[in-house]
Chains A and B, each alone.
Chain A
């Protein structure tokens, strides 16, 4: 009882799925894409660009990162705990993927770093009418891929949810789905590519596979639709489990993304302490949000606090902020007073972006305070008072000499002195999950025994196990880079599998 059929069915029309669709169709396969949302691009619509090495942009910008150097860097970073064959293929294909997309009409602004010491691998997509890197710039890339897919005859079914991968004698044979009209249907196929973007919107799976309690000790993005259904279907179809991770970052719930000046200011490399009132990090690495997230996640109750004073704010008023990110682009503290007043008055509760997903208690939890004394800081935050006083005293001494504790550079050593203390509470956050299902270097899904399952492929975030335990921010653009490149590989390989019949 089949309601439709195609050579390849792709579950998920995000970065990886739509790329896989174009790749498979380009080689002649008939393709159906099942997309839960009303448009393509998935979580990648929020992104700006992606990873490549030895692209013509990098050559033009005199970036001296070679494929060999990038490969060795990533393998060192992961202690060779990841699939070297897959990493090598990914890096080898990356520059060609840029050219491939340019042929579809995508323009790139060039190759960018994510922070000072990162590599220059982030190929940011140009937006219409602007020559500046902009949040959400990548959405435009998915228009090009979608149109290309349509031109190649790919059928994209929107507001359609896949529910099951049907296996027949060890090989993929169909996908069960619920259409836009709410009616269950079956679509026959010879190959399935699952590219549903992980489980960032599933508190249950976050709890079960990552050990965090969302809303309590983790405040990661909850992109609607990224519910882990692809992984569940893959496992049900016999796919092997691998350890999932999360691209950890850190956040100040209710402040980050709403009160951007407060948020960015409290993310400058100033004194950071844990609940015990102790310093635990060289704050210089706070621009590497993965490392900072990792570090916060191992503190008691998984929280940390940054403390600045009015004298530090005055310094920023005069010189601007130390760290500026492309995506938030807050360079000064000109809106500081206004934002602090708005936050303290509670005007932002409805507008905090927390109102839907967090419960009432979480919504009304303060994560930023203005205090008159360290005593008050300790009272509102729960930081051990005596230890905090000792730490501040010690830190202020370091500021006068040198940080022989964690070796933070002198330029970031601003003493905690003044009459007003500003404190922000930071929690681990993240973009979403990474990995969970075993694949080989052809993006073919492996069973628990490590043997390939005929016709079953996974790509993008569901299958992304190439970063080891922590996302590699030193090679920025990697999540989308892997999504697009692994999707492209999966598309080609699924087609080759069908042609082998």
Chain B
């Protein structure tokens, strides 16, 4: 420990520490601007000027290493004069446009003006010719006229990241911060990691408005893929490992959160990809395909060696419903030591994975093998062909119950009576196809709805012999709920998509004999129901042999089941997945309505944790199958980084290329948050009598 004296106060510093860091760590505020805790000292801004006994002239605290017995004065007239003049020099070319700057109140320069009292430069205002060089892009908003040349961005890009696309440039006798050859970022080696934005003390480099969500804690929002995944899978890490060919380690990372990773590799709704920042540049990272490739190429499955099953607790749990939610909950509850029985109404488990999603999208063997894996590790019982219509007996036999019955019942718009002979619900059609039935639907099929189920129906119908298949939905083409891939494939298969339309069925002899199709300019759901703005004169008739209604599903639970139900017969849950009945929990589509496999897994994990706590456990179901090394902040450069296009991820090389496109958003939260003079840590220092 090195002992120094700062403004008459004894301070202990670390050997080798610079004086600025020592003062700040001790709660003594010394103004600074170019200095940043994660970057090498620059000594350029002169704001951290202090006097050290034995030195003739004031020194910059960031450039002096502490030494025993050092006596420092941070608030003399002399140092304040130097700081103030230095700040005036910075302010001379800085625009006075604070009121239109998004950094307002989060600007270190503004806070320094406040701290020093220097709001005004006595120098003539300088208007630099070079102040407007540098164009914004979708990831980095650049307003270079606000730049004070502290060079933090240059050091972040170079010293920290090893990318080095920023530099001090010179033109017409002016110096400015710019990219190499003043090129737009996508023509440089820029990796779009946004470290430059994070360290910028002013409103020069900023995140474009709306780039990150503001309704979650910032550290979470800064990694959009991981935040976007309902299970918060550590996506950046598993992408990197897969890219390096370390498939077992990659799988270990997502196995920590996912029970059906291979199935998800086929059909996940991949909100992670929708949120991926690279998507604003060209196309998101193909995260789903990387996951699938990693599972398919993981020969070792090392995660199995690190998993655990707790000692038996003697508690018994019934899980009603053997879909992704029920099976996930059963898996974790079994591993927590409880004896779990899954009660599945159909002949095989898997829920909508087995009975809803068509086989061309997700092979049955994949589902079966993943269920088998879960049961190998956590031997829970699955009883098939058991339909539970009343919870009461289960409450007698089991210590707790989890309801995961899904959303099984088709929901029809008005005008499509269940008695109509040629109208079927999409969910029923899919179930029958997957059960091996080949119903005669005719040559022309109209599918109502714009979600994945509608496209599953349309594409299945096409495969099973229909020649003329139409998908019709109210949403405009770019707002359809289905995955864009599904829509693309459907179009490629010759299916006709009618977006932004409304339909009126003509009924005769218990059949829909035709559909009047009318274009819709816009629509809204109001308190008075659906409001449509029709395009006059666009009505035409579509005659179909069969109409498949795929406009949503609801729970088929009834009040007799024994828990409180809400809209669409969905189970009402409070905090922690509890239902209205003591000891009964719920998760999955029976709570949310038709959703996704990944959502079911995420909800089931939360419900399992909650249920375990109810049974006296600690609720901890977190796994660590891969020990995280510290992040390496130096990502370096990759040739033609911005030009790398999304790959199909069918080969190891393609996966390596694809994962190399990652912007490494996960590195940004590692950067230190800069503290302002107002920060409590300095104010408490001040209260100890440090303030002059």
Contact = CB atoms under 8 A, between A and B. Distances in A.
A292 B97 CA distance: 22
B307 to A, nearest CB: 31
Contacts of A45: 98, 104-105, 110, 113-114
A257 B84 CA distance: 25
Contact of B120 (A127, A146, A181): A127
Contacts of A129: 81, 84-85, 88, 118, 122
A136 B116 CA distance: 13
Contacts, number: 149
B135 A223 contact: no
Given A127-B117, A127-B119, A142-B114, A42 B85 contact: no
Nearest to A225: B105
Contacts of A139: 110, 113-114, 119
Contact of B119 (A38, A135, A353, A356): A135
Given A45-B114, A158-B678, A350 B143 contact: yes
A146 B678 CA distance: 8
A355 B683 contact: no
A418 interface: no
A37 B101 CA distance: 13
B97 A257 contact: yes
Interface string A321-356: 000000000000001000000000001101101111
B215 to A, nearest CB: 9
Interface in B121-152: 122, 127, 131-132, 134-136, 141-145
A353 B142 contact: no
Interface string A23-46: 000000000000011111111011
A45 B691 CA distance: 23
A224 interface: yes
A72 interface: no
Contacts of A225: 104-105
A218 to B, nearest CB: 14
Interface string A140-151: 101100110011
Nearest to A36: B105
A156 interface: yes
Interface in B647-692: 676-680, 683, 686-687, 691
Interface string A190-233: 00000000000000000000000000000001111100000000
A258 interface: yes
Interface stretch (B216-224, B283-291, B402-410): B216-224
A42 B105 contact: yes
Interface residues of A, number: 51
A98 to B, nearest CB: 17
B581 to A, nearest CB: 26
B680 to A, nearest CB: 8
A256 to B, nearest CB: 10
B369 interface: no
Interface in A343-385: 347-348, 350-351, 353-357
30 contacts: A37-B104, A39-B110, A39-B677, A42-B105, A46-B98, A127-B117, A128-B118, A129-B84, A129-B122, A135-B96, A135-B120, A136-B119, A137-B120, A139-B114, A139-B119, A140-B113, A147-B691, A150-B683, A156-B680, A158-B679, A183-B217, A221-B99, A222-B100, A223-B99, A224-B103, A224-B104, A258-B95, A350-B143, A350-B144, A357-B209
Interface of A: 36-43, 45-46, 127-130, 132, 134-140, 142-143, 146-147, 150-151, 155-156, 158, 181-183, 221-225, 257-258, 335, 347-348, 350-351, 353-357
Given A134-B119, A224-B104, 5 more contacts: A127-B120, A128-B116, A183-B217, A224-B102, A350-B134
